[in-house]
Amino acid sequence: MAGDQGRGRCATGIEGLDPILGGGFPRGNMVLVTGVPGVGKTSLSLEFAIRGAAAGDRTLYITTIERPEKLLASVPDFEFFRSELIDDGLLRFIEVPELLELDTLFGRPESREDVLRFSEGLSKYIDENGISRLVIDSYSAMFHALDDRGVSRDLLLMLSEMMYRKGCTAVLVADVEPSATPDLAVTATMESIIADGVIVLGNHQRRSDLLRTLQVLKMKGTSHSRSKYVIDLTSCGILITPLLRGGA
């Protein structure tokens, strides 16, 4: 715990989130951002990346589903995004094959050896480029070609150790099946046990209204709120306000 405190905080830059986290993620932590499709996981991850780069952190965003240009075009036009961040090398978008250093059928790891190669490639990339902030979007989609689910957990353990050692703060996007009960689906996974932090994005049904929500379920080394918050995805970034209880 003392070591974590000594490492300081990696401010997400997301205005309402940092106060919930006591100033940001503990630096060198690996945080799982999870939820069903359409709740804002990519928007949150992109804002974390862009605001980090704008604050001077060398940031790497690894896309596993969409091409980087499509990813950037699919999110709101963030007013805080500046193309100089990319031009100056502070913000980098790459796809998995660039780290695998070989062609695979789907551009994703297809064997345990590929996963090891990915881990080594990432470690080298972080060292060579001074990366201190990382996003993998989506982590769970990287393993669609693998039958052995244990491989994703092994990589998670390797990443957790790597991030801590290098003082690099990581956000891993993990998808949850739309049919799953989000909280149960997350707490039951080995991934959420291994990760240092878990943020669940979801939907809250109130009568006929559907609200987008955010809840920090876990954040090691942090005294944080575990309440549910309502979020809005805007061109100014993610906005957050408490979920009203109405005395309930």
Q: Which of 84, 206, 226, 227 forms a contact with another protein (CB under 8 A)?
A: 206
23: Cα separation from own chain's centroid: 17
- Site map for another protein, 163-192, x if CB under 8 A? ------------------------------
User: Does 75 contact another protein by CB under 8 A?
Assistant: no
Could you say whether residue 227 binds another protein (CB under 8 A)? no
Residue with tokens 């996981």: 41
Burial class (CB in 10 A: 0-12, 13-18, 19+), 213: buried
Nearer to another protein, 15 or 154 (CB): 15
Take residue 230 and report the two structure tokens written for it: 């309502």
50 binds another protein (CB under 8 A): no
Candidates 74, 156, 211, 225; binder of another protein (CB under 8 A) is 211
User: Least distance to another protein from the beta carbon of 234, Å?
Assistant: 5
Q: How far is the CB of 31 from another protein (least distance, A)?
A: 23
Q: Is 246 among the residues that bind another protein (CB under 8 A)?
A: yes
- Report the nearest approach of another protein to the CB of residue 204 (Å): 9
Cα–Cα dist 123/70, whole Å: 26
115, 134, 217, 231: residue in contact with another protein (rule CB under 8 A): 231
Q: Give dist(CA 41, CA 215) in Å, integer.
A: 12
- Site size toward another protein (CB under 8 A) is 19
DSSP assignment letter at 178? T
By CB under 8 A, tell whether 230 contacts another protein: yes
What's the order of all strands across the beta sheet hosting 169-175? 91-95, 59-63, 133-137, 169-175, 30-35, 197-206, 209-219, 228-234, 237-242
List Cα–Cα distances, 74 to 11, 46, 208, 220, in angstroms: 25, 11, 27, 32
The window from 21-29, 55-63, 215-223, 228-236 that contacts another protein (CB under 8 A) reads 228-236
d(CA 68, CA 71) in angstroms, rounded, equals 5
Which chain residues interact with another protein by CB under 8 A?
206-209, 211, 230-232, 234, 236, 239-247
